[in-house]
Amino acid sequence: MTKLTLISFPTCPYVQRAVIALKEKKVDFDVVYIDLANKPDWFLAISPLGKVPVLKVEREGHEPAIVFESAVILEYLEETTPGRLHPEDALERAQHRSWIEFGSQVLGDLWRLSVAKDQAELDAAQQAVTAKFARLEGIVAGPFFAGERFSYVDAVFAPAFRQIDALETVAPAGLTAGLPKVSAWRQALAERPSVREAAPADFAELYLQRLRNNAAHVLKLAA
Protein backbone atom coordinates (compact mmCIF):
# COMPACT_ATOMS: atom_id res chain seq x y z
CA MET A 1 0.00 0.00 0.00
CA THR A 2 1.12 3.53 -0.80
CA LYS A 3 -0.26 6.53 1.06
CA LEU A 4 -0.09 9.92 -0.68
CA THR A 5 -0.30 13.21 1.21
CA LEU A 6 -0.18 16.61 -0.44
CA ILE A 7 1.03 19.50 1.71
CA SER A 8 0.21 23.05 0.69
CA PHE A 9 -1.94 26.07 1.58
CA PRO A 10 -5.62 26.59 0.76
CA THR A 11 -5.29 28.97 -2.21
CA CYS A 12 -2.17 27.45 -3.80
CA PRO A 13 -2.84 26.90 -7.53
CA TYR A 14 0.04 24.46 -7.88
CA VAL A 15 -1.32 21.89 -5.44
CA GLN A 16 -4.67 22.03 -7.23
CA ARG A 17 -2.97 20.53 -10.29
CA ALA A 18 -2.07 17.40 -8.34
CA VAL A 19 -5.45 17.23 -6.63
CA ILE A 20 -7.20 17.40 -10.00
CA ALA A 21 -4.94 14.70 -11.42
CA LEU A 22 -5.53 12.37 -8.47
CA LYS A 23 -9.28 12.89 -8.64
CA GLU A 24 -9.26 12.20 -12.39
CA LYS A 25 -7.31 9.00 -11.72
CA LYS A 26 -9.59 8.10 -8.77
CA VAL A 27 -6.63 7.64 -6.43
CA ASP A 28 -7.02 8.09 -2.66
CA PHE A 29 -4.93 10.82 -1.05
CA ASP A 30 -4.87 13.27 1.83
CA VAL A 31 -4.31 17.03 1.82
CA VAL A 32 -2.71 18.94 4.68
CA TYR A 33 -2.82 22.75 4.62
CA ILE A 34 -0.25 24.85 6.45
CA ASP A 35 0.05 28.54 7.26
CA LEU A 36 2.66 30.00 4.92
CA ALA A 37 3.24 32.90 7.30
CA ASN A 38 4.10 30.48 10.08
CA LYS A 39 5.52 27.36 8.47
CA PRO A 40 5.72 24.51 10.99
CA ASP A 41 9.12 23.03 11.77
CA TRP A 42 8.06 19.59 10.53
CA PHE A 43 7.32 21.10 7.13
CA LEU A 44 10.61 22.96 6.91
CA ALA A 45 12.36 19.72 7.80
CA ILE A 46 10.91 17.89 4.80
CA SER A 47 10.75 20.67 2.18
CA PRO A 48 14.24 21.40 0.81
CA LEU A 49 13.13 24.74 -0.68
CA GLY A 50 10.63 25.60 2.04
CA LYS A 51 7.97 25.79 -0.68
CA VAL A 52 4.67 24.10 -1.42
CA PRO A 53 3.35 21.86 -2.75
CA VAL A 54 5.10 18.82 -1.35
CA LEU A 55 4.01 15.24 -1.89
CA LYS A 56 4.72 12.80 0.94
CA VAL A 57 4.83 9.18 -0.23
CA GLU A 58 4.55 6.48 2.41
CA ARG A 59 5.20 2.88 1.34
CA GLU A 60 5.18 -0.23 3.46
CA GLY A 61 8.70 -1.22 4.39
CA HIS A 62 10.20 2.14 3.37
CA GLU A 63 10.90 5.45 5.04
CA PRO A 64 8.49 8.22 3.94
CA ALA A 65 9.73 9.91 0.76
CA ILE A 66 9.27 13.54 -0.31
CA VAL A 67 8.66 14.79 -3.85
CA PHE A 68 8.67 18.55 -4.42
CA GLU A 69 8.00 20.94 -7.32
CA SER A 70 4.54 20.66 -8.88
CA ALA A 71 5.65 19.55 -12.37
CA VAL A 72 7.75 16.75 -10.87
CA ILE A 73 4.83 15.68 -8.67
CA LEU A 74 2.59 15.42 -11.74
CA GLU A 75 5.14 13.29 -13.59
CA TYR A 76 5.52 10.98 -10.60
CA LEU A 77 1.75 10.56 -10.36
CA GLU A 78 1.53 9.82 -14.08
CA GLU A 79 4.16 7.10 -13.79
CA THR A 80 2.90 5.43 -10.62
CA THR A 81 -0.90 5.67 -10.55
CA PRO A 82 -3.59 4.11 -12.76
CA GLY A 83 -4.87 5.87 -15.86
CA ARG A 84 -3.13 8.27 -18.23
CA LEU A 85 -3.55 12.01 -18.51
CA HIS A 86 -0.61 12.52 -20.87
CA PRO A 87 -0.97 11.62 -24.57
CA GLU A 88 0.39 8.26 -25.69
CA ASP A 89 2.47 9.78 -28.50
CA ALA A 90 5.92 10.99 -27.39
CA LEU A 91 5.83 14.15 -29.50
CA GLU A 92 2.37 15.07 -28.24
CA ARG A 93 3.55 14.48 -24.67
CA ALA A 94 6.47 16.83 -25.23
CA GLN A 95 4.14 19.46 -26.67
CA HIS A 96 1.80 19.11 -23.71
CA ARG A 97 4.73 19.53 -21.32
CA SER A 98 5.64 22.71 -23.20
CA TRP A 99 2.12 24.07 -22.72
CA ILE A 100 2.27 23.08 -19.05
CA GLU A 101 5.28 25.37 -18.69
CA PHE A 102 3.31 28.03 -20.57
CA GLY A 103 0.58 27.58 -17.96
CA SER A 104 3.09 28.17 -15.20
CA GLN A 105 4.04 31.43 -16.87
CA VAL A 106 0.36 32.41 -16.91
CA LEU A 107 0.20 31.79 -13.17
CA GLY A 108 3.25 33.99 -12.74
CA ASP A 109 1.53 36.79 -14.65
CA LEU A 110 -1.62 36.35 -12.55
CA TRP A 111 0.48 36.59 -9.40
CA ARG A 112 1.98 39.85 -10.66
CA LEU A 113 -1.54 41.06 -11.40
CA SER A 114 -2.63 40.18 -7.87
CA VAL A 115 0.24 42.10 -6.22
CA ALA A 116 0.27 45.15 -8.54
CA LYS A 117 0.30 48.31 -6.45
CA ASP A 118 -0.49 50.84 -9.17
CA GLN A 119 -2.15 51.10 -12.56
CA ALA A 120 1.07 50.75 -14.53
CA GLU A 121 1.97 47.47 -12.86
CA LEU A 122 -1.59 46.24 -13.25
CA ASP A 123 -1.73 47.16 -16.94
CA ALA A 124 1.53 45.32 -17.62
CA ALA A 125 0.31 42.18 -15.85
CA GLN A 126 -3.09 42.27 -17.58
CA GLN A 127 -1.45 42.66 -20.97
CA ALA A 128 0.84 39.71 -20.28
CA VAL A 129 -2.09 37.48 -19.29
CA THR A 130 -4.33 38.47 -22.18
CA ALA A 131 -1.49 38.06 -24.68
CA LYS A 132 -0.91 34.49 -23.51
CA PHE A 133 -4.61 33.68 -23.68
CA ALA A 134 -4.76 35.18 -27.17
CA ARG A 135 -1.95 32.81 -28.16
CA LEU A 136 -3.98 29.90 -26.80
CA GLU A 137 -7.09 30.89 -28.76
CA GLY A 138 -5.66 29.27 -31.87
CA ILE A 139 -4.39 26.20 -30.00
CA VAL A 140 -7.27 24.99 -27.82
CA ALA A 141 -9.24 22.24 -29.56
CA GLY A 142 -12.27 22.26 -27.24
CA PRO A 143 -14.02 21.36 -25.11
CA PHE A 144 -10.69 20.67 -23.37
CA PHE A 145 -7.20 21.61 -24.44
CA ALA A 146 -6.68 18.71 -26.85
CA GLY A 147 -10.30 17.84 -27.52
CA GLU A 148 -12.63 15.48 -25.67
CA ARG A 149 -9.87 13.94 -23.55
CA PHE A 150 -8.93 15.68 -20.30
CA SER A 151 -5.16 16.09 -19.92
CA TYR A 152 -2.54 17.52 -17.60
CA VAL A 153 -2.65 20.77 -19.56
CA ASP A 154 -6.27 21.11 -18.44
CA ALA A 155 -5.27 20.33 -14.85
CA VAL A 156 -2.63 23.06 -15.05
CA PHE A 157 -4.83 25.80 -16.50
CA ALA A 158 -7.90 25.10 -14.35
CA PRO A 159 -6.38 26.74 -11.22
CA ALA A 160 -5.48 29.84 -13.24
CA PHE A 161 -9.06 30.15 -14.47
CA ARG A 162 -10.28 29.59 -10.88
CA GLN A 163 -8.31 32.65 -9.77
CA ILE A 164 -9.84 34.68 -12.57
CA ASP A 165 -13.33 33.43 -11.69
CA ALA A 166 -12.78 34.53 -8.08
CA LEU A 167 -11.42 37.92 -9.12
CA GLU A 168 -14.26 38.57 -11.55
CA THR A 169 -16.86 38.16 -8.81
CA VAL A 170 -15.81 41.66 -7.70
CA ALA A 171 -13.71 43.21 -10.48
CA PRO A 172 -14.36 43.16 -14.25
CA ALA A 173 -10.89 42.06 -15.35
CA GLY A 174 -12.06 40.75 -18.75
CA LEU A 175 -8.98 38.58 -19.15
CA THR A 176 -10.63 36.14 -21.60
CA ALA A 177 -12.98 38.64 -23.25
CA GLY A 178 -13.10 38.35 -27.03
CA LEU A 179 -11.59 34.86 -26.92
CA PRO A 180 -14.51 32.45 -27.48
CA LYS A 181 -12.49 29.22 -27.53
CA VAL A 182 -10.54 30.08 -24.38
CA SER A 183 -13.74 31.25 -22.68
CA ALA A 184 -15.51 27.99 -23.57
CA TRP A 185 -12.51 26.01 -22.30
CA ARG A 186 -12.56 28.00 -19.08
CA GLN A 187 -16.26 27.17 -18.62
CA ALA A 188 -15.78 23.47 -19.42
CA LEU A 189 -13.03 23.24 -16.81
CA ALA A 190 -15.12 25.06 -14.21
CA GLU A 191 -17.85 22.43 -14.65
CA ARG A 192 -15.50 19.44 -14.35
CA PRO A 193 -16.07 17.64 -10.99
CA SER A 194 -12.34 17.13 -10.37
CA VAL A 195 -11.76 20.85 -10.85
CA ARG A 196 -14.70 21.95 -8.71
CA GLU A 197 -13.50 19.74 -5.85
CA ALA A 198 -9.80 20.65 -6.06
CA ALA A 199 -9.96 23.70 -3.78
CA PRO A 200 -11.75 24.57 -0.52
CA ALA A 201 -15.39 25.60 -0.87
CA ASP A 202 -14.49 29.10 0.35
CA PHE A 203 -11.61 29.50 -2.11
CA ALA A 204 -12.98 32.69 -3.70
CA GLU A 205 -13.27 34.49 -0.38
CA LEU A 206 -9.84 33.28 0.76
CA TYR A 207 -8.28 34.42 -2.52
CA LEU A 208 -9.96 37.81 -2.43
CA GLN A 209 -8.99 38.29 1.20
CA ARG A 210 -5.38 37.66 0.24
CA LEU A 211 -5.69 40.40 -2.38
CA ARG A 212 -7.24 42.74 0.17
CA ASN A 213 -4.45 42.03 2.64
CA ASN A 214 -1.94 42.96 -0.07
CA ALA A 215 -3.83 46.13 -1.02
CA ALA A 216 -4.07 44.82 -4.58
CA HIS A 217 -4.70 47.62 -7.06
CA VAL A 218 -6.91 45.33 -9.17
CA LEU A 219 -9.62 45.45 -6.52
CA LYS A 220 -10.02 49.17 -7.20
CA LEU A 221 -11.69 48.12 -10.46
CA ALA A 222 -14.62 47.03 -8.32
CA ALA A 223 -15.28 50.59 -7.23
- Give the burial class of 186: count Cβ atoms within 10 A of its Cβ; 0-12 exposed, 13-18 middle, 19 or more buried: buried
The answer to whether residues 15 and 31 touch, using CB atoms and an 8 Å cutoff, is: yes
Q: Interhelix angle for 152-167 vs 203-213, to 10°?
A: 60
| Active-site amino acid positions | 12
Residue 12 · residue 55 · CB < 8 Å:
no
Residue-level length of the chain: 223
Separation of alpha carbons 129 and 30, rounded Å: 32
Residue 80 DSSP one-character state: H
Pairing of strands 30-33, 54-59: unpaired
